[in-house]
Amino acid sequence: MAKFKYRMQNILEIKLKLESQAKIAYGIANQKYLSEQKALQELLIRRTGYEMALKKLMTGTLDMQKVAHARADVNAMKTLVRRQMIVVHKAELELNAARQKLNEIMMERKTHEKLREKAFEQFKEEIKEGESKEIDELVSFTYNSK
């Protein structure tokens, strides 16, 4: 019996490898985004703590040096939060780019798999036609020999 051999199997295998690489890249981008997001949350919590410390210093007797130092801390934290927001935004853009690339590669792989399925269906039809032809020849041979 004939064996099915897809003539573009090597391309399909390459597409599968590219897809696995894109999945890995997407996972790395996702981890980076999540870690940057976590760092932003930690900075926001620290900034809130500094703001509460500043409010506490503003009540009761005022020590202007401590108040000025606390304001500088709050301003520094605001700057750090802004920088971290930029880093998070860049990580989000990289994540979206990786997701889009993964989707494109998955679509290409699915296309090649559908082409393989169609080629296999065509192969089965050819086998079926060949068997039908053999049966017809066998029947006509046995009929003619009698």
Q: With a threshold of 0.85, does the pTM exceed it?
A: no
Cα–Cα dist 55/73, whole Å = 13
Cα–Cα dist 9/14, whole Å: 9
**Confidence category of residue 136, pLDDT binned at 50, 70, 90:** confident
For 6, the 3-state DSSP assignment is: coil
The whole-angstrom separation of Cα 116 and Cα 8 is: 8
**Exposed/middle/buried for residue 70 (C-beta within 10 Å: 0-12, 13-18, 19+):** buried
Q: Which letter does DSSP use for residue 110 in this model?
A: H
**Cβ distance 75 to 54 under 8 Å?**
no
Higher pLDDT, 56 or 38: 38
Q: What is the DSSP letter of 61?
A: S
Going from N- to C-terminal start, the domains of the chain cover: 10-145
- Encoded tokens for 26: 């997407």
pLDDT single digits (tens) 80-123: 999 999 999 999 999 999 999 999 999 999 999 999 999 999 99
What is the structure's pLDDT at 139?
82
Whole-angstrom distance, CA of residue 104 vs CA of residue 91: 20
CATH class of the domain comprising 10-145: mainly alpha
